[in-house]
Amino acid sequence: MSISSATINPHEWVKTHADYLYAFAIKRIADEEQARDLVQDTFLAALQKVNNFEGKSSERTWLTAILKNKIIDVYRKKSSVIVSSDIVESERQQQDFFDEDGHWSQQHKPLRMGEIEQGLENKEFNQVLKRCMEKLPALWFSVFTMKHIDDETSERICSELKVSAQNFWVIIHRAQLNLRACLQKNWT
């Protein structure tokens, strides 16, 4: 055991870090059971790599980095199983958002939603947003979450999920349109 790995205490991980890691995972994975499994997998992976811990970060940061990689693996797996019917249905719902000139159609013109900062702190709004995100096709959910929740770079997202830069921007745009429409329907 290296000197730096002697400074960490795996016996305290569940008590010290489980709640934080679960909260981190559940924000990114819309499945409570899977989030719990990912936290357990993180602890197991960390135990296997305990000798590799160099002490350049805190124990929590190191565990979070392991969890983040496990979440990306889930995104990659989900996005590789593209259900074309989900994408076709989502695109069908968007086809009449704009008129021939590229302007918002009167029926789908964005409505004012109030103060967004207040909404983001509102528990009810967050539940509606979560439900709307769960309706996104898996690849769209993965790309949107990595970009807007994890603040990953576009290049890393494209690399991890094996999508082209052009496809990335199309996915982001379509996911945002779907979320906007869902929020307007269920929140306003």
| CATH fold for domain 82-186 | Arc Repressor Mutant, subunit A (1.10.10)
Which among 21, 14, 26 has a CA at the least distance from the CA of 65? 21
- What lies within 8 Å, CB to CB, of 135 at 6+ separation is 178, 182
Q: How is the chain split into domains, by residue range?
A: 4-79, 82-186
Which among 140, 31, 97 has a CA at the least distance from the CA of 148? 140
Confidence band of 162 (pLDDT split at 50, 70, 90): confident
Q: Is the pLDDT confidence value at 21 over 50?
A: yes
- Cα separation, 168 vs 139, whole angstroms: 10
Q: Is the pLDDT confidence value at 114 over 90?
A: no
- Report helix angle 59-80 to 32-48, nearest 10: 120
For domain 4-79, which CATH number applies: 1.10.150.130, 1.10.1740.10, 1.10.3720.10, 3.40.50.720? Answer: 1.10.1740.10
Tens digits of residue pLDDT in 59-97:
999 999 999 999 988 888 876 655 555 555 555 555 555
